[in-house]
Amino acid sequence: MNKNVINLERTYFIVLGAISILIPLTPVIIKDGISLLREEFVEMVLIGLLIALGYVIMLVYNNEIHRRQKQLDEAFRYIGEVNVRLQHIQSFFSDIKKYPEDKKDFKNILEFVTDKILGIASADWVMVRIVDTSSGSTLRERITARGGAAVLHHAISNEILLSRKNGAGYSFVAATAENVSFQAFCIFPKSNVKPDEEILIKAVLNQLQMLFLIFTSQYYKKPELPVRT
C-alpha cells in the first residue's frame, strides 16, 4: 500500500479514536459552562463539533482511498492494454513463416500487418502505405477500419508524408530506415495513438519495410529457366 495512504489511514483512526474518547468525556471536562454559556449548551456545541470533525476526516479519508483505487485500476488497465499489444507484436513476428515470393504473398502480409496495427493502436482506422521516395507514388496500400469508420483516404498526400509533416485530421508513424528507395508509413486519425503505441507500430513498420525490400529484391526472385533452342 502507498505510504501516503498508510499515514492517512493512521491519522484517520487516531483522530477518530480521540473523538470517540472526547465525546463521552465532554460532560466531565465542561462542568460549569464557559462564561455566560450554560454547561448543557457548551457540551452540545462541543459534541457537535467533534462529530462534524469526525465526519470531515472520514470524507477526506474515503476520497483519498477512492482516488488511490482509481489510480490502481488505471495502472492495471494500462498493463492489460500493453499485454494485448505485446501479444499482437509477438503474433506478428511468429506468424509470418516465410519471406514473400510473389504479389499474393506480400498482399497477405500487408493485410496481416494492417490488422495487427489496428489491434495495437487505439484508433478507429489505420492505413499502411508504402511510398516511392523518388517519384512520390504509392507502391502498396492497405486500409483497415473499425465498424465502418470514415477514412480520410483522398486527403492524405504522399508529399506531406515524405516531408514528415502531419496533415489536417490525421497523424502518421514512419519506418526508421531511410537508406532505401521507399518508405513505409502508418496513418491514423490525429491524436488517436499514444506514444507507447507509436513505438510498437514503428517496430512493425520496420519489419514490413524489410519484407518489402526482400520482395522487390532481384536477388530473391526465382531465375527464369533458360529457353532451349
Q: pTM for the full model?
A: 0.59
Position 208 in a domain: yes
Q: What pLDDT sits at residue 186?
A: 92
Q: Which of 86, 108, 125 is the last residue of a domain?
A: 86
Q: Are residues 129 and 59 in the same domain?
A: no
Domain of residue 22 covers 3-86
- CATH number of domain containing 111: 3.30.450.40
Above 60 in pLDDT, residue 35? no
Q: Cβ neighbours of residue 182 under 8 Å, at least 6 residues apart?
A: 130, 131, 132, 133, 139, 209, 212
Q: Is the dihedral of CA 104, 109, 110, 114 positive or negative?
A: positive
Question: Considering only CA atoms, which of 139, 146, 152, 92 is closest in space to residue 124?
Answer: 146
Q: Are residues 213 and 168 in the same domain?
A: yes
Q: Are residues 106 and 206 in the same domain?
A: yes
- pLDDT tens track for 78-121: 677 667 666 666 666 666 778 888 888 899 999 988 988 888 88
Q: Are residues 119 and 187 in the same domain?
A: yes
For residue 160, the cross-strand partners are: none
- pLDDT tens track for 135-175: 999 999 999 888 766 666 656 888 888 888 776 778 888 99
Above 90 in pLDDT, residue 28? no
Number of domains the chain contains:
2
Segment of 14-23, 63-72, 75-84, 99-108 carrying the highest mean pLDDT: 99-108
pLDDT confidence of 33, banded at 50, 70, 90? very low
Position 118 in a domain: yes
